[in-house]
Amino acid sequence: MFEGINTSGSALNAAKQWMEVSSNNIANADSSAAPGETPFLRKRVVLSEITPFETALTGTKGVKVSEISADTGSVKRVYDPTHPNANEAGYVNYANVDMTAEMTNLMVGQKMYAANTSALQANEKMMEKDLEIGKV
């Protein structure tokens, strides 16, 4: 009976972390780095199924965030010799964040959260109906 609640809860937590990481990426999209330093690297969330062993230990099935890793793709280089972080050649290194991809990730996270909230509400209604059966 509570398995559905636990599963939806794990998915809600994963969706929350997904949106937090995307929001952090968006917040740092325009950040630059001083010459010789690495600029902000986009983070990405990797989801995985909770294994049967973990289920045996915690009693929870569902999904988890297995990793939050840095995207080591190329950083944006912009020619701006007046910028305080410009190197000797006049280039500034900016974060490797693609705003379109991050906005899409936010929408995916929002849909994940909404879908699991609906599943949780449906489970609640089923539990209420179960309790009504006992009243008769």
Say what the pLDDT of residue 54 is: 80
| Residues, the chain | 136
Structure tokens at 109: 């996270």
Please tell me the total count of domains within the chain. 1
Structure tokens at 125: 């209604």
Identify residue 95 by its one-letter amino acid code.
Answer: A
Range of the domain at 63: 1-134
For residue 45, report the phi and psi dihedrals to the nearest 5 degrees: -105, 135
Say what the pLDDT of residue 2 is: 76
Digits of tens for pLDDT over the chain (136 positions)?
A: 678 888 888 899 999 999 999 999 999 999 999 998 999 999 999 999 988 888 778 777 889 899 999 998 888 999 999 999 999 999 999 999 999 999 999 999 999 999 999 998 998 888 888 888 877 6
Are 119 and 128 a contacting pair, CB within 8 Å?
A: no
